[in-house]
Structure 1
Amino acid sequence: MIGRALLALSALALLAFLVAPGPFAPLFQPFTRNNAPAIYTQTSLLSLTLSHLAIVAVAVAASTIVGLVLAVLVTRKAGREFLPLARTVTAVGQTFPPVAVLALSVPVMGFGTGPTLVALFLYGLLPVFENALAGLTGQPPQVAEAARGMGLTPRQRLWQIDLPLALPLLLAGMRLTAVISLGTATIGSTVAARTLGEVIIAGLLSSNTAFVLQGGLVVGILAVLIHHGFGALERRAGRRMGLA
């Protein structure tokens, strides 16, 4: 109960700050120098946050779709031989730093949101793929026997048994991807994407620690809220499947 109350208070405080940051200026004033502004006002913090979340949501959705499709393909009889290749492909995003992906994407896609989406998509593939793979391959042997006994076709088993049972682990992979992408998306501002990294970069360029704190705190609180939100979905899915 205490944890939920703290989460609720954090969410309300974050919302109040994003909607009307002015009253919070005294909290950040000690972190400024030479009478610099305590609150970032060049762009609306609320609009930057919404843009940041939208970029992360699109990237996580794309990583989830591709990662899940690959996991399903390599766990079917016809695609098992492609498992090493699928693991190599999904690991590419983890071997290339997001900054390098941005540098390679900008000459092709130009500045803006596109390169950031590519970097987040590649970086988020591996957690979703590996968790989906674990969920699809880690089911008890009795499940397969029961499915055969019921006369289910492979497609029916996939939709009615395999995917529902794998859902908690899939959600865990999405949780990891979402939290990682939320923090990584801040570097998108270096290539003109509208993210909360704009506030952090402005603070670094002007030596205004207050701006850096604002960007970092908003991203940090959002990460905690998203982490716990996905955790609640995992537990709910587990209970529905009788796994928890």
Structure 2
Amino acid sequence: MTEHWASRWRVPVIWGLLLLAGCLLMGQLEALFRWVEPDSRDVIFSRVDFLVLLGRHLLVVSVAAVLATLIGVGGAIAVTRPGGRDFLPLVAQVASLGQTFPPVAVLALAVPVLGFGTLPIVVALLLYGLLPIVRNTLAGIEGIDPSVREAARGMGMTSGQILRQVELPLAAPVILAGIRTSVTINIATAALGATVGSSNLGDPIISGIVNGNTAYIVQGAVLIALLALTVDSVFARLAPARRA
């Protein structure tokens, strides 16, 4: 059992350790980044500790993911019920609308209303992450064989019981795939929060662009990539478990 667990989670653990090593040991790579940016006085981003930036990045993405999952899954379930089917096209269009606007445009519109800080980027990530969740939840629930529902009704199950015990378990792998896509995309998109005062792993990238420091940009980009790979590999390991 232990060997199976270790084999199953080896890849996420490796990516996670590389991410932590990058945050903790970035300063030890000064010689390498000095080669990348030989003309800059400072080649290691030191304004904020990388572990702090990682924590802030995870917090923003997690809050947006939880809200997007609750709204996306809840909305999709509502419009697959008999009383909500008339609103199915509207929900699908609203979810699609979120991804037609670039996150930068959403931030530009949100800042005058919400101010600078974390809230505008959470709103942008929420809107940007809704579509995959809504789309996959609809596909997962609508793709269930009607005979399965009829069999559940024949057993005397109520509509709520059918949803909880039949539809959601069968649709779970598809729903999880939508959440996985949403979160992975938003890990990269969250870096834009640094432009509106939401400190995260986008800080080195934005600072590098402003100051013409390629080393800063590389540091932020590498850490965000490692975070995305870590989270994506975790979702990849969860998917088979949900099907079992």
In structure 2, the partner of 1:105 is: 110
1:234 aligns with 2:216: no
> Residue 149 of structure 2 corresponds to which residue in structure 1?
144
Amino acid at match of 2:132: P
TM-score (structure 2 length as normaliser): 0.93
Give the aligned partner of residue 39 of structure 1: 44
How far did 1:6 drift? 5.7
Alpha carbons 2:12, 2:234 under 8 Å: kept: no
In the TM superposition, residue 206 of structure 1 has moved relative to its aligned partner by 1.8
Find the residue that maps to 1:21 and give its secondary structure: helix
1:120 Cα shift?
0.3
Instruction: State the partner residue of 1:242.
Output: none
| 1:193 has 2:215 as partner | no
Note the 1:49-128 alignment, pairs <5 A.
49-128=54-133
- Aligned partners of 1:63 and 1:4: how far apart in 2? 26
| Alignment check: 8 A CA contact 1:18 1:45 kept | yes
d(CA) in 2 for partners of 1:83 and 1:30? 55
> What is the aligned counterpart of 2:176 among 163, 171, 175?
171
Alignment partner of 1:14 is 2:19 = yes
113, 134, 140: which one aligns with 2:139: 134
Amino acid at match of 1:55: V
1:225 CA displacement: 1.2
Correspondent of 1:28 among 10, 33, 38: 33
For residues 112 and 11 of structure 2, what CA distance do their matches in structure 1 show? 45
Name structure 2 gaps, 5 residues minimum: 1-5
Instruction: Give the AA of the match of 1:222.
Output: L
Q: Would the alpha carbon gap of residues 3 and 154 (structure 1) be closer, same or farther in structure 2, given more than 3 Å must change?
A: closer
Q: Which amino acid aligns with 1:124?
A: G
Once the two structures are overlaid, the 10-residue window that deviates more, 116-125 or 2-11, is: 2-11
Of 222, 227, 239 in structure 2, the residue corresponding to residue 222 of structure 1 is: 227
Aligned twin of 1:208: 213
Residue 183 in structure 1 maps to residue 183 in structure 2: no
Specify the code of the residue in structure 2 equivalent to 1:65: L
User: Hey, what's the Cα distance between the residues in 1 that align with 2:15 and 2:182?
Assistant: 22
Deviation for aligned residue 1:37: 2.0
Tell me by how many angstroms 1:7 deviates: 4.9
Deviations 1:52-100 (A, max 9, x none): 1110000011000000111111110011111111111111211111111
- Mean CA deviation greater in 82-91 or 30-39: 30-39
Q: Percent identity?
A: 44
* 2:41 aligned counterpart, secondary structure: coil
Deviation at 1:2, TM superposition (A): 9.4
Code of the aligned partner of 1:122: L
What is the RMSD of the two structures over their aligned residues, measured on CA atoms?
Answer: 1.7
Contact 1:17/1:24, CA 8 A, preserved across alignment: no
Long gaps (5+) in structure 1:
240-244
Distance in 1 (alpha carbons) for counterparts of 2:206 and 2:8: 32
| CA distance in structure 2 between the partners assigned to 1:63 and 1:200 by the alignment | 26
TM-score, with normalisation over the residues of structure 1?
A: 0.93
AA of the residue aligned to 1:109: L
